[in-house]
A = this chain, B = another copy of it.
């Protein structure tokens, strides 16, 4: 990877610079407010230059979304690693990774979920792969606990809870004072409660209230994980 040479006539790495600029702009103005000309300006290049690398504005937006999905997938997969030893801790890491991604990469996250605006739900790529991993994770966690759990429902609930917390937090609607109301804490406890609570819903009717052992390892993650610091972005 050669470093940017900015002095010459040629940029050297304009494509990457445009993607980086677009990420930043999408984070600031949203996918609708994002502007190709402003991205060119950020890359210190004329307004026509981007057309050497992208067909049009939408193509750059789509490229950002594509990379966002890839990076998202990479991080969540990495978080799930080691799940065979401790599925609860791995799932906990996955949740942390989800919120961290949404917080640290708002440009990616916004592009992924809103590429083309709420109206254009057509040919946009979907997070199938990543979401499949989430669902598999839920199954693996729920199954050994011996609970009658609909893993698919649980996966969507966990996803919605993560997405809801991420967007409410980004919108500044969660109180940042109280440590107990931080998104990561709400997600950890929330998913734990979803897993525990879901098992009781219908099996309690069938099995008539046998005592349940809560999975303790899911409740308390290893404290002091690194990478949880506030990023200055």
Contact = CB atoms under 8 A, between A and B. Distances in A.
Interface string A14-34: 000000000000001110110
Contact of A160 (B32, B119, B164): B164
**DSSP class of A's interface residues: helix, strand, loop or mixed?**
helix
Contacts of A213: 209
A160 B156 contact: no
A165 interface: yes
A201 B180 CA distance: 14
Interface string A159-198: 1111111011011111000101100011001101111111
A159 B174 CA distance: 10
A117 interface: yes
Contacts of A197: 192-198, 200
Q: Give the interface size bracket for A toward B.
A: 35 or more
A23 to B, nearest CB: 14
A150 B180 contact: yes
Contacts of A163: 164, 167-168
A114 to B, nearest CB: 8
Nearest to A210: B211
A153 B201 contact: no
Contacts of A28: 119
A216 to B, nearest CB: 8
Given A118-B30, A201-B192, A201-B219, A156 B172 contact: no
A110 interface: yes
A126 interface: yes
Contacts of A173: 126-127
A163 B174 CA distance: 13
7 contacts: A153-B189, A160-B190, A163-B167, A195-B197, A197-B197, A200-B214, A211-B211
